[in-house]
Chain A
């Protein structure tokens, strides 16, 4: 037994260790790596794992539960409340819409309405595990499309509860549903009782989060045993999952709720770091087991049927999602992201199909190809992301911004100064200029920023400053000064190139991320470049000198002297950036600065040994007179 467990662990880990880095290297993402690993070790390729994968899969599903707990930790209740509209609006519409489309298709194929509706509901759910990990891996979670996807997934998790509840009503042979069978399915209680239990469980989770976790952690913190912290964190997740299962709620939903409750607590980071590694491993395991579950035998025997089903379902979901994205006002790239990321059928389908069989909604023959289709659709999701990123989004890139056409810029906006980018940097420059009544034309590409600043009465035009037509519209021909304050390096470079090329008369003041960017912008012809953190660090340096006892005026003079040297060497060093003697030169420059500060008198108010003393003045005068005499003769 131990042997086989260790051997299995070895196989799984080895597969993951090999496939994941390869997949990442190829730019395909870790999730696809795990899936491929699963396929490889599964019964159809190497056959290392066979039937036991079901139990592994069960165990691995816990990864999803943990993931939702972590997601909840990131979402403070207030934030969740803000998202109620996309969750219930967009999410609700998606589940209903997909169920209708898929159900109608099934009906058209001659399936009875009851199983057709059940399949519709099941296929409406997407894979929380795959989608959230992929979005997180690609840094898309915080984008508009990512947030929308998250909202829909959350609604689906909630929707599983009523779906489970209606399945018994969809049974094809209701007569068989004797009280015994119903009890076996775990649903002998009357409706009101179930409702009460649900309510009680949710209240219980909130109470645990609010009142129990804190004192327990305080106690553990006092004892100072690291593992007990980890154990307690796991205990919370496992306990809540169990409780949820008992009352027939989705464990993932329950732990998510617990996460939200704990998001405000001071132990949030503690919990996060404790759970994170478990989640990572278990999720990996989960993906591997999905890969291993794909029944290639069945697919090979019925390729057209299963392939067609996957294709039709995913296309249908895609269309529904895309349209809803449009209705709910997502911009174009976000719409595509939403549609592509949620087009698959999720892991809930496995559970629900199983449940449907117990409830006699489906027969076993009916279910088998569906399971294969679900696994396949999950398997190709990472590929869809690759298509989205490499094919769809790049095409969208330019017209995509058209989604919100750049603002019409008033013709009287001919101002002497144009500012591109109105974030922390641009705002500071802008405020100083505005305070001195210099008219500005301000451009920014972040709709939120445009709106936010608009609220305090500053007119910022939405638009991409790297586009020449917008630069024209912003009045660059008539302006004198262009302040480049965007934070994105590539964007900045693109803008400078365009401004230099089309409006060579403009003086450019540019914000740079770092030295390298500084040199790049200088080379492109910016009159002056400012490293974005230099100013505040410089001030902090002066404050530090004062704190260690220098007089303020002296500290300022010393720092300024250092700064002059620094700026001069920066220009010098730029010529050597990228060559192999760069570091040697950088070190030399630093040593030079230190030598300079140490040996030369920093302040010039020096009386060189009694310089203002009478005798010495007189002596000097004699020397001067002698020199003048010598010159004359």
Chain B
């Protein structure tokens, strides 16, 4: 059961926010520690076509915590201590968000600027994130062929995410290739998104269970395209 961090006490479930339909459940004592933290950043999740559905694919997973940033910080004033505590608690950090201006929605930038403190995440004594895994799970309006050197957007998504890759690097996190769902605006119903949903669930599950070929995942361009290759050997085993 995913723990829902964006949800304050006493709030009723909202139909539009899928990650929050289930109330937080007290984990049994000797159960596994939370492993995967999904930091969701979507300013209008109620109108999302892709991210909402991706989220629903993982929100029921055991040991996966979904933290809805816009819901938790509607005025963008981020609680640094709480965010750091969440990071420490988890081994895998997934940033899930739509691609906005070849980058992240504003709150994620704010999150980055505030939470990754010197002496905590990097610099002298900044070792708290060492050894964890991280990746971006992204939806883009543009189609796959646009994100190529010869394409309309001239860079690959991974190239455009260079700041995130280097941030991870500086903080001692291991950066994996992004999981990208292209042509998000063409998605009009469940049927358009079956494969990406399914892949996302498999990816998060495998990350949780350490069932992933890290070398390959770090080298890939888009995990969505290589999901079978990245997971195949372990999943079979």
Contact = CB atoms under 8 A, between A and B. Distances in A.
Interface of A: 546-547, 549-556, 603, 605, 607, 609-614, 617-618
B45 A614 contact: no
Interface residues of B, number: 26
B17 A556 contact: no
Most buried by A among B143, B145, B185: B185
B71 A551 contact: yes
B141 A551 contact: no
Given A556-B75, A605-B44, A612-B141, A617 B152 contact: yes
B11 interface: yes
Contact of B16 (A549, A617, A618): A549
B12 interface: yes
Given A551-B16, A554-B44, A612-B185, A607 B74 contact: no
Nearest to B185: A610
Most buried by B among A546, A554, A609, A610: A554
B141 A607 contact: yes
Contact of B140 (A550, A555, A612, A617): A612
A551 B17 contact: yes
Given A612-B140, A612-B142, 6 more contacts: A549-B12, A550-B14, A551-B46, A551-B70, A553-B70, A555-B74
B186 interface: yes
A20 B183 CA distance: 82
Contacts of B15: 549
Interface of B: 11-12, 14-17, 43-46, 70-72, 74-75, 100, 140-143, 145-146, 152, 183, 185-186
Contact of B43 (A550, A605, A607): A605
Contacts of A614: 142-143, 145-146, 152
Contacts of B72: 552
A618 B17 contact: no
Contacts of B141: 607, 610-613
Contacts of B183: 613
Contacts of A547: 11-12
Contacts of A611: 141, 185
B55 to A, nearest CB: 13
Contacts of A553: 43, 70-71, 74
3 interchain residue pairs of minimum CB distance: A612-B141, A553-B70, A552-B74
Nearest to A555: B74
Contacts of A550: 14
B43 A603 contact: yes
Contacts of A603: 43-44
A305 B143 CA distance: 111
Nearest to A610: B185
B44 A546 contact: no
19 contacts: A546-B11, A547-B12, A551-B17, A551-B70, A552-B70, A552-B72, A553-B43, A553-B70, A554-B44, A554-B46, A556-B74, A603-B44, A607-B141, A607-B185, A611-B141, A612-B140, A612-B142, A613-B185, A618-B152
B111 to A, nearest CB: 14
A61 B75 CA distance: 65
A550 B146 CA distance: 35
A609 B141 CA distance: 10
Most buried by B among A552, A555, A607: A552
B166 to A, nearest CB: 25
A621 B91 CA distance: 44
B45 A551 contact: yes
A610 B140 CA distance: 11
A101 to B, nearest CB: 67
Most buried by B among A546, A547, A553: A553
Contacts of A613: 141-143, 183, 185-186
Nearest to B69: A553
A607 to B, nearest CB: 6
A539 B232 CA distance: 52
Contacts of B146: 614
Given A556-B75, A607-B141, A549 B152 contact: no
Contacts of B46: 551, 554
Contacts of B12: 547, 549
B82 to A, nearest CB: 16
Contacts of A552: 70-72, 74
Contacts of A546: 11
A601 to B, nearest CB: 10
B139 to A, nearest CB: 10
A547 B143 CA distance: 38
A556 B15 CA distance: 18
Contacts of B100: 605
B181 to A, nearest CB: 13
Contacts of A555: 74
B106 to A, nearest CB: 10
Contacts of A554: 43-44, 46
A551 to B, nearest CB: 6
A550 B142 CA distance: 29
